[in-house]
Structure 1
């Protein structure tokens, strides 16, 4: 690979973004970049679509060959739209909202699974352990609203409770589980603390499909991550490079740069990419207006004594 090839990496590296996720994404991308001889130009999106679009314009002005990354769905949508407008390839590593683009484009691809697939797996897990009447506490966001719609499609009943009075409304609802569709650490951590301290809610399961427990260190709360049950030899080598505490987001960052390196090497298109990623073979198909990897592995896990415990796979 020509060491002069540069890729712009977009990630939330400061508040209000989920900076821990952003750092993991960049760490994985850096490991792959060293292996394939690509220079990375990293920019902080701060979970701000306007800042992200400005970063895209800056990176294009610097002559990057492609863009990769982003964790927050609303930001990734803005990046995808701008990348398509200016005609630069963008590989979304970690944002899952189904409708990543308003109009079909060949400039955009994604290696994260779509939200409707991952959250369906999460709903299946809830049903499998007897939770069909579920409460959600959701902040205003296109991403969280999409999550509520998906859950309603797969659960018998979904009740919405407000951030300001979660415990009282949850107790009145009769729901056996509460799902956190909110940011972290605020207000996710205070909500968890309040529910766990309320004797009326001792038997209520708390879940967080978007993965807040991983970033906030919350134990006993199921969430989604996108790793196979057993890593391949390549995956194990990447794990060794990243360290045992590496998140699945770091593997997404690694795979994104690996895919782009193959795209550059073959002078090809997304449709012709076939590469061994850290989580399995990666190829792309058209889906919802972009090129999509179908599919990375999906797990429902929880943190227990600092370790991940796999609860369900899909």
Structure 2
């Protein structure tokens, strides 16, 4: 039976929704606040898509699974969502979790648009099934290294925990600093207490300490210890992974959490779409939206455009990445092949180095842009 085309704004109510699987960390040890922001962006975009007529008249629906920062749990969720018949996967914040999800999605032939994870090696071999919105770690962390070196910090200490993500970040920093005559000293945040770490930091002669550790533990105790150590009064604390972006950071640390530069993936000024989305996200979240919320919105905006143009066949979706040209909240999104990156990559997301203003910790200062 032939059905008449849906008028603009009309969504069919016969239950034949187009489903997108969403991977989001919503419980500990996942970074819950980041997951909440990511989900808010995903959900707002779905509402906007459906208000505009859905996917050729069919409602768009999110099928959400909590990864809790667990790679095995994420891989199992990908299996389940594939069986449920989702047209594509979206989301995830933690890089090691996104890597597990990307590998499973590649094996199953399920398109995965990664929202927020930055690890360069998201897959172990080139794939057409995966694409990513967040900038690759090598680009973002090089921008951060440029900021530090430009500010005169040539001797850097990193308080790091064991992780592929933190190890990759340390390697990027070492390469950048070595190329300009600098040095990076690694401090083991798992074996050193905050007090012992301060002692090691004094002995290192470093002028900056980067927190390559989990939040809130052990990041918060380390910041408090350094701030209270008079020997380290002039040390710069940095957190390239973005811990200070979220309200919980300011709640737990107060004034101690200010003046700690981090990476944020927003433009200096939002355009009309970004400004409208920012206002709507603020209403949903009750706080200023993080860049992660914008990444969530843009993920659904891209997938909705692909599904409208190419249908819900998974293979056709995977083939469409190089033809994407979508106006997102932070600029025009297009994917390309980037050397060293095995998924389709939005090559030019905006990158800022930002901190919380000591005079007004709920306000952010832009210190450097790529």
Task: Give the structure-2-normalised TM-score.
Answer: 0.83
| Structure 1 equivalent of residue 44 of structure 2 | 31
Tell me whether 1:153 sits opposite 2:175 in the alignment: yes
Give the alignment of 1:1-314 within 5 angstroms: 4-37=17-50, 38-155=60-177, 156-163=182-189, 164=192, 165-215=196-246, 216-217=249-250, 218-243=257-282, 245-267=288-310, 269-287=320-338, 288-304=341-357, 305=360, 306-314=362-370
Deviations 1:103-145 (A, max 9, x none): 1111000000000100001011111111010000100000000
Indicate the SS of the match to 1:84. helix
Distance in 1 separating the partners of 2:242 and 2:133: 17
Q: Distance in 2 between matches of 1:283 and 1:162?
A: 39
Distance 2:66 2:176 in 1: 36
Give the CA deviation at 1:162. Answer: 2.6
Unpaired runs of 5+ in structure 2? 1-10, 51-59, 251-256, 311-316
Divergent runs of 4+, >6 A:
none
Decide which moves more: 31-40 or 67-76.
31-40
Give distance in 1, aligned partners of 2:337 and 2:176.
25
Q: Figure out how many residues of one structure are paired with residues of the other and give that number.
A: 314
How far apart are the structure 2 equivalents of 1:263 and 1:103?
A: 24
Instruction: Give, in whole Å, the separation in 1 of the partners of 2:198 and 2:352.
Output: 28
Partners of 1:161 and 1:110 lie apart in 2 by 31
Check the 8 A contact 1:96/1:115 in 2, yes or no: yes
TM-score where L is the length of structure 1: 0.98
**Quick check: 1:91–1:256 contact (8 Å CA) kept in 2?**
yes
In 2, the alpha carbon distance for the partners of 1:190 and 1:127 equals 26
> 1:122, 1:132 → 2: CA distance?
13
Quick check: 1:12–1:70 contact (8 Å CA) kept in 2?
yes
Q: Give, in whole Å, the separation in 2 of the partners of 1:142 and 1:14.
A: 21
Q: Aligned partners of 1:57, 1:102: CA distance in 2, in Å?
A: 19
Q: CA deviation at 1:303?
A: 1.2
Report if the CA contact (8 A) 1:162-1:169 is conserved.
no
SS of the equivalent of 1:178 reads strand
